[in-house]
Amino acid sequence: MYNLDEFMAELERKNPAQPEFIQAAKEVIESIIDVVNDNPAYLKAKILERITEPDRVFSFKVEWEDDNGEVQVNRGYRVQFNNAIGPYKGGLRFHPSVTLGTLKFLGFEQMFKNSLTTLPMGGGKGGSDFNPKGRSDAEILRFCRSFMTELQKYIGPETDVPAGDIGVGGREIGFMYGQYKRLKVENTGVLTGKGINWGGSLVRPEATGYGTMYFADEMVKANKDTMKGKTIAVSGFGNVAWGACIKGTELGAKVVAISGPDGYVYDEKGISTKEKWDYMLQLRASNKDIVAPYAEKFGAKFFPGKKPWELKVDMAFPCAFQNELNLADAKALIANGVKYVVETSNMGCTADAVTEFINKKIPFAPGKAANAGGVATSGLEMSQNAMKYSWSAEEVDAKLKTIMINIHSSCVQEGKDSGYINYVKGANIAGFKKVADAMLDLGY
Ligand code: 2IT
């Protein structure tokens, strides 16, 4: 029998100075420990020890030259967490905060998320402490080339299929795919998030944002409610926030806030026109990492240094970064009458914020369920690449929507708790069972 405190103490001892990994692991293990303790096969297989240890971890040096001719050195990683149900799959993050512990938390989450999609994908994550802020296109190209020169040794279309994450979008995937192709002389689905002219899937750029709104729509319906007329605060202004603004508007809601590291923008008219959405893409492409120019351009209000969780809104969608919404933010949202919280960033809320939402019976979706539309559509991109075929936007979108509806049903099935749906528990149990059962089938 497992004891939560004892297991976590040992996990911390084995993984010192990796607080994000420990946080992610604790959340999952808390949810699944009863399921594991009730199943002699899981206990005999030492399933918790095995599922918290990555299959392998690569760390490599990335050398490149900046525009001033100065040599730069970054560290690159790929964490291959678990491939019981399919090839390792998960994004690459380029951000100065990236450490091995960050990527272990993300790879661990990815394993359960990918399981929830119903597609055959294992969990992995990678990236670098490279900071794209202020870098020219030429510098980003040189960095990506050097990064892929190392990474290509460890990945492959049937082995490990990276994609984008924070700091890695279509441009970066293009530069990395170009280098992979140069070195391997093959056109395969080794990366997803590719451009539409060179093997990408329609709707992949929109998929995380669309998916979280499809999931939210199901949550709202489960409460006999509607998205129509709901006010929404979104954080972030990148690819995920962009897709969320588009689909939220299409579903009849009004997104009134987006944010950046510099503060948040409140647009009472709604971030609801193509011009505004296109401008968000321009902001991201500028590599400045600021959202303030949106307020100036569209006559909205800018609140420097603040987070949008102080607003009175019906729904909150953290779409930016881990632990971006803390206990004080959760209390402020609840005091202002928030009805639903849909975590869309990976581990976007601190553990005590999640507990607060659940204790106050606010429907709360965890990132690994709500943001799974991104990787699900990556899975659909892999299917299209394997078939040497491409589906129409309508076909991809319909499959994405069905997947999100099914993830919602899985969460309800495993997370129903006398009237309240505990989506955290539901997502963790549903995601875990499939991976654990596959591991038992495969032996060790
Ligand atoms: O966190 C995520 O699920 C992603 N960054 C997308 C991963 C993917 O392989 O599409």
Measured distance CA(214)–CA(421) in Å, rounded: 17
pTM listed for this prediction: 0.98
Taking only the tens place, the pLDDT of each residue in 45-55 is 999 999 999 99
Kindly indicate the confidence band of residue 176, based on its pLDDT and cuts at 50, 70 and 90: very high
Residues with catalytic function: 125
Which amino acid, residue 49?
A: E
Distance of CA 146 to the CA centre of its chain: 25
Counting ligand 1 atoms within 8 A of each CB, the residue from 78, 165, 407 with the most, and so the one to mutate, is 165
Percent composition of the chain: helix, strand, coil (DSSP 3-state, to 5): 50, 15, 30
Kindly indicate the confidence band of residue 113, based on its pLDDT and cuts at 50, 70 and 90: very high
pLDDT average, residue stretch 91-112: 98
CB 132 within 8 A of CB 140: yes
Kindly indicate the confidence band of residue 114, based on its pLDDT and cuts at 50, 70 and 90: very high
Q: Which atom of ligand 1 is nearest to the CA of 121?
A: 9
| pLDDT attached to residue 57 | 98
pLDDT average, residue stretch 70-95: 98
| pLDDT attached to residue 218 | 98
| pLDDT attached to residue 418 | 87
Taking only the tens place, the pLDDT of each residue in 245-260 is 999 999 999 999 999 9
Which amino acid, residue 90?
A: G
Domains with residue ranges and CATH for the chain: 4-187 (3.40.50.10860), 207-362 (3.40.50.720)
pLDDT greater than 90 at residue 341: yes
Measured distance CA(160)–CA(414) in Å, rounded: 29
CB atoms within 10 A of CB 273: 13
CB atoms within 10 A of CB 157: 16
CB 73 within 8 A of CB 62: yes
CA of 113 to the centre of ligand 1 (A): 9
Counting ligand 1 atoms within 8 A of each CB, the residue from 208, 212, 240, 381 with the most, and so the one to mutate, is 208
Measured distance CA(44)–CA(56) in Å, rounded: 23
Taking only the tens place, the pLDDT of each residue in 183-202 is 999 999 999 999 999 999 99
Taking only the tens place, the pLDDT of each residue in 413-437 is 999 988 899 999 999 999 999 999 9
CA of 355 to the centre of ligand 1 (A): 25
Nearest CA to ligand 1 atom 4: 91
Measured distance CA(365)–CA(244) in Å, rounded: 15
Taking only the tens place, the pLDDT of each residue in 313-329 is 999 999 999 999 999 99
C-alpha separations of 177 from 117, 253, 313, 420 in Å = 25, 37, 41, 45
Q: Which atom of ligand 1 is nearest to the CA of 346?
A: 1
C-alpha separations of 187 from 31, 91, 159, 170, 329 in Å = 41, 19, 15, 17, 46
Nearest CA to ligand 1 atom 9: 90
Q: Which atom of ligand 1 is nearest to the CA of 162?
A: 9
CA of 268 to the centre of ligand 1 (A): 31
